[in-house]
Amino acid sequence: MEKWSVRTDLALESALIAEQEHGGKLDGIMSSEEQRDNTLVTTVTISEEGERITGKRQGLYVTVESTDLRGSDSSRHASISRVTADEIRRFIDSAGIHQDASCLIAGLGNDLVTPDSLGPRVTDRLIVTNHLFKLHPEHVQEGYRPVSAISPGVMGMTGIETGDILLGLIEREKPDFLIVVDALASRSIERLNATIQMTDSGIQPGAGIGNRRKEISRRTAGIPVIAIGIPTVIDAATVTRDAVELVMAHLEEKSGRGDEEWKRAFLGNIGLLSDEEKRQLIHDVLTPAGLNMIVTPKEADLFIHGAAAVISSALNEALHNRPPEETRSFFAG
């Protein structure tokens, strides 16, 4: 089933799909859940074996889920932000990153395309201090670490692989670790704009909603990489596929017969479709005009603002050891 074009950037979803197919827990995937401050925190560890099964890279994946992320209640936003900050700090600590280590944050995505603008909207709101450390170190208050930030744009707008821009910058500026923020694709409407994923496994820009590009990870960058994202779109093909399968299931159930002959007739026909044919079908429905169709809530513009505020606030809190009112700055931008 995985092969039939289920596009998701959430390890959580990949793990669920793999386990559903397998019919139970799998060796290469470990996961645990915890309720915290009205959010659901899920930790998924994917081993080398798990990577082979799920297609998600080996590493630790933590998601913080709450549909309040979609709302406009600022106290709930602050609370989700705090849980997220705690988890970011855990990633920083477990990578052995020192309190004074310098951080580069890259906000990936196209700031002119609403559902792809999460990264740039986050970098707009960060507390950036790297230049102060270099130019006026005497004025930097205790607790801050050197933080720099960039929105490198997308290849279609820059003509340059995002990975190349970042790796060039890392080579020259030599930050101690990298955090990348990007919009993701999920396969489920429930998790859309309601889930924050953090991982130490790196990122491939555009993996969720476009072509796979150069990997940005500890392996390629030579420094620890923490990737943070929120799903903002569902690939239109995924929704379509879900619809088709739900109809199939419904028909089968409705037939009531449980009868093998019918199933063979029916499912046999489904079976007759090769993966390639299935893909072609979806393609015929969705891309006659050569457009890159997505499914998104109509109010996506509003969600992006709130989500960017929550993530930037979490980053400011996790990176700098300062009183919360200095780092919880939702307004700048």
Q: Under the criterion CB under 8 A, does residue 139 sit at the interface with its own copies?
A: no
Nearest to 238 by CA among 64, 41, 5, 66: 5
CB under 8 A: which stretch of 23-31, 45-53, 82-90, 113-121 binds its own copies? 113-121
Please, which residues bridge with residue 61 across strands?
44, 199
Angstrom distance (rounded) from CA 71 to CA 89: 25
Which listed residue (90, 262, 279, 322) binds its own copies by CB under 8 A?
262
Angstrom distance (rounded) from CA 200 to CA 218: 8
Q: Under the criterion CB under 8 A, does residue 171 sit at the interface with its own copies?
A: yes
What is the per-residue binding string for its own copies in 183-202, x denoting contact by CB under 8 A? ------xx-x-x--------
CB under 8 A: which stretch of 11-19, 52-60, 218-226, 269-277 binds its own copies? 269-277
Residues 73-112 that bind its own copies (CB under 8 A): 73-77, 111-112
Nearest to 60 by CA among 34, 85, 92: 92
Query: 200 or 235: whose CB is closer to its own copies?
Result: 235
Nearest approach, Cβ of residue 247 and its own copies (Å): 5
Q: If 0-12 CB within 10 Å is exposed, 13-18 middle and 19+ buried, where does residue 66 land?
A: buried
CB under 8 A: which stretch of 15-23, 82-90, 214-222, 282-290 binds its own copies? 282-290
Instruction: Give helix 236-255 / helix 275-286 axis angle, nearest 10°.
Output: 110
Sheet architecture: strand order including 177-185: 29-36, 39-46, 59-65, 195-199, 225-235, 177-185, 103-107, 147-150
Residues 211-250 that bind its own copies (CB under 8 A): 233, 236, 239-240, 242-244, 246-247, 250
Q: Under the criterion CB under 8 A, does residue 176 sit at the interface with its own copies?
A: no
Q: Is the dihedral of CA 161, 165, 170, 176 positive or negative?
A: negative
Q: Under the criterion CB under 8 A, does residue 284 sit at the interface with its own copies?
A: yes
Query: 224 or 306: whose CB is closer to its own copies?
Result: 306
CB under 8 A: which stretch of 28-36, 48-56, 72-80, 90-98 binds its own copies? 72-80
Angstrom distance (rounded) from CA 152 to CA 189: 29
Query: 179 or 192: whose CB is closer to its own copies?
Result: 192
Q: Under the criterion CB under 8 A, does residue 267 sit at the interface with its own copies?
A: no
Q: Under the criterion CB under 8 A, does residue 331 sit at the interface with its own copies?
A: yes
Close Cβ partners of 244 (under 8 Å, ≥ 6 residues apart)? none
